[in-house]
Structure 1
């Protein structure tokens, strides 16, 4: 069986929508949309497109995540209070073990690739 290239095309993935979990929510009423495109055979690598409107919530990462901001802006703050803004065109990684907050400023859309051991 030949392995085929999988193209990531918005609107072609499995969609899941809903609010941020109430126990993590710090501000706003953000609604999220995840469009999932791929899970590997070991069930530990995933990719897709995620979006959210304005709000702020707690983050705790057990996975490594690569992000590319497609549109919008967010502020990511670690548990020591160091904050960075990310915006359209920015690429970055959030390593496993990261704790802090994510604040969507307006709305944001990102491409994500997640690896979990």
Structure 2
């Protein structure tokens, strides 16, 4: 285990030295009203559509310099479809409602003001009766060795990650 950590640390140090691997300089604050963002068509994969003709649009708000997190505004007209979450996604419903069925059968209706979380690598069925508008906070999942390193660091610091408590 110690050898793996040493190799991972050495690899990370080498990557930081590569000129085109350095993070892109970006503004420390990105702020926009959702209505000020230009929406672009974002068609739903046709094989995922179950019913209706849902039309989706998206506007990118921001993206982290390391490309592991992004924030966007997304909207969609009526329809039912399956959706695959490549990334962990937290949503805040701005307008409308969506009836969600997770792949484990859990059902929930998210309405204006509700917050929902969808784990990366999972499917859910979405049914929108009229219209839905949301903010999506997306985060790429880290590889298992990186997750284990963070957990080890937190344990050594005495900061176990527990529900309701964010680890530093």
The TM-score, its normalising length taken from structure 1, stands at 0.88
Say whether 1:97 aligns with 2:121.
yes
Q: Which residue, 88, 91, 107 being the options, matches 1:67? A: 91
Higher helix share: 2
Segments of 5+ residues of structure 2 without an aligned counterpart are 1-24, 142-168
Corresponding position of 2:48 = 24
Aligned residues of 1:69 and 1:108 also touching (Cα < 8 A): yes
Corresponding position of 1:109 = 133
| Deviation, structure 1 residue 18 | 4.1
| Deviation, structure 1 residue 3 | 4.3
Higher strand share: 1
Aligned residues of 2:26 and 2:65 also touching (Cα < 8 A): no
Root mean square deviation, CA, Å: 1.9
Q: Which residue, 77, 83, 107 being the options, matches 1:53? A: 77
The TM-score, its normalising length taken from structure 2, stands at 0.63
| Deviation, structure 1 residue 21 | 1.6
Q: Which has the larger radius of gyration?
A: 2
